[in-house]
């Protein structure tokens, strides 16, 4: 298997540089001879020696092509080579075919991603630390008056990101979403100079990056006393989110988990205002398999790290999303994001 995606290479070897390829030989699991080969360029020679000490190293800037050339020169050993067809371009495949005409190249999409679906305890601990950094950042923001009328969405977003760094994050998981007032009805609003105002919902979707693993959390607060309609949709989303969390059980179809939350919102008459899936996997990517949606496929398995994030969005008025990161366990899901889901009134 010729692995070219850097996140998959990191998952398999621990290498964190920006250029690498990996040629994995299945026989390594049954013999003492290591036939798996790693390739990177000269910038990372020392780093690779430290992070990938157990494999043979090749040094070449064109790492993927170099490993194809290596396989061609030893085609008796590497007769059929899978490649990550979801990552290799058409031109890239043409180059591999020219470089290794004696090797049968076989499309093998998603093999490493399938392994990544189930997190081991070290991965879950990294996710737990990332979630804790985000929880603490939001707590500090609120405690020090960071959510108040007159502040801009951008200022709040930058402060949240700075506080996550202070609590051990290497950076944010993604561009932080802060949306106030009518902007909170836009699911993926990008922060602007819009100012927070009394009576506004403020929706914050953010996460921390720790050891390469991403957390994801959304909380919606209100500035000043909430109107009746704000309480109504907040309580509705909270109920739907609890139903979605409770449905994340071993053996449950991912679409059924989505349905559990969606039915709550639909029965209240807001089904058209829940415009995305219940959630998604998190790990080395902020959005990875499985997709908890009506189009999602597969079942919940122990060790999957997923989000539960239903929302209701009323254009021109405001919206609510409540999101947690959870890990599927044998009994009940382990909740990694611990900030309260009660309506916070500031």
pLDDT in the model for residue 33: 66
Which of 63, 94, 116 terminates a domain? The answer is 116
Do 213 and 287 share a domain, yes or no?
A: yes
**320, part of any domain:** yes
Residue with tokens 């305890």: 121
| CATH for 197 | 3.90.230.10
pLDDT in the model for residue 35: 87
Stretches where the chain sits below pLDDT 50 are: none
Rg (CA), the chain: 23
Q: What is the 3-state secondary structure (H, E, C) of 137-192?
A: HHHHHHHCCCCCCCCEHHHHHHHHHHHHHHCCCCEECCCCEEEEHHHHHCCCCCCC
Torsion of CA 242, 127, 204, 188, to 10 degrees: -90
pLDDT in the model for residue 30: 61
- Domain span including residue 84: 2-116
Residue with tokens 């997709």: 291
Do 102 and 149 share a domain, yes or no?
A: no
Burial of residue 178, with CB atoms counted within 10 A of its CB: 0-12 exposed, 13-18 middle, 19 or more buried: buried
Do 191 and 330 share a domain, yes or no?
A: yes
- The Cα 171–Cα 206 span in angstroms is 11
Do 100 and 216 share a domain, yes or no?
A: no
Do 38 and 186 share a domain, yes or no?
A: no
Do 163 and 111 share a domain, yes or no?
A: no
Q: What pTM does this model have? A: 0.94
Phi and psi (nearest 5°) for 222?
-130, 140
Do 220 and 317 share a domain, yes or no?
A: yes
pLDDT tens per residue, range 96-132: 999 999 999 999 999 999 999 999 999 999 999 999 9
**345, part of any domain:** no
Do 110 and 227 share a domain, yes or no?
A: no
> Containing H/E element for 259?
helix 254-267
| CATH for 106 | 3.40.350.10
Which of 90, 116, 142 terminates a domain? The answer is 116
> Structurally, how many domains does the chain consist of?
2
- The Cα 99–Cα 88 span in angstroms is 15
Helix, strand, or coil (residue 251): coil
Q: How many CA atoms lie within 13 A of 255 on its CB side?
A: 5
Phi and psi (nearest 5°) for 277?
-75, 170
Q: What are the beta bridge partners of residue 213?
A: 210
% of the chain residues with pLDDT over 90: 96
Do 258 and 328 share a domain, yes or no?
A: yes
Task: Identify which of 328, 331, 330 has the alpha carbon closest to the alpha carbon of residue 248.
Answer: 328
């Amino acid at each position: 298997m010729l692995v070219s995606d850097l996140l998959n290479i990191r998952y398999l070897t621990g290498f964190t540089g920006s250029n690498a390829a990996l040629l994995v030989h299945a026989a390594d699991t049954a013999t003492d001879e290591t036939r798996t080969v790693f390739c990177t360029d000269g910038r990372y020679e020392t780093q690779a020696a430290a992070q990938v000490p157990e494999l043979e190293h090749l040094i070449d800037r064109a790492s993927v092509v170099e490993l194809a050339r290596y396989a061609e020169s030893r085609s008796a050993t590497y007769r059929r080579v899978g490649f990550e067809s979801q990552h290799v371009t058409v031109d890239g495949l043409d180059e591999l075919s020219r470089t290794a005409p004696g090797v049968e190249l076989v499309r093998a999409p998603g093999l490493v991603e399938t392994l990544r679906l189930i997190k081991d305890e070290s991965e879950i601990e990294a996710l737990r630390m990332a979630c804790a950094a985000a929880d603490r950042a939001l707590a500090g923001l609120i405690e020090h008056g960071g959510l108040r009328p007159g502040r801009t969405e951008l200022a709040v977003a930058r402060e949240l990101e700075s506080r996550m760094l202070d609590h051990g994050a290497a950076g944010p998981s993604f561009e932080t979403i802060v949306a106030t007032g009518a902007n909170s009805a836009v699911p993926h609003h990008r922060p602007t100079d819009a100012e927070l105002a009394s009576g506004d919902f403020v929706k914050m979707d953010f996460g921390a990056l720790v050891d390469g693993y991403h957390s994801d959390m959304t909380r919606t607060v209100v500035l000043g006393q909430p109107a009746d309609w704000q309480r109504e949709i907040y309580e509705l989303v909270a109920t739907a989110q609890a139903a979605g969390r409770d449905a994340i059980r071993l053996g449950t179809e991912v679409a059924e988990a989505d349905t559990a939350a969606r039915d709550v919102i639909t029965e209240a008459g807001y089904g058209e205002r829940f415009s995305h899936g219940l959630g998604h996997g998190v790990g080395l990517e902020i959005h990875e398999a499985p997709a908890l949606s009506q189009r999602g496929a597969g079942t919940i398995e122990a060790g999957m790290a997923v989000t539960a994030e239903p929302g209701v969005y009323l254009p021109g008025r405001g919206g609510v999303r409540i999101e947690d990161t959870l890990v599927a366990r044998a009994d009940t899901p382990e909740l990694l994001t611990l900030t309260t889901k009660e309506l916070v009134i500031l």
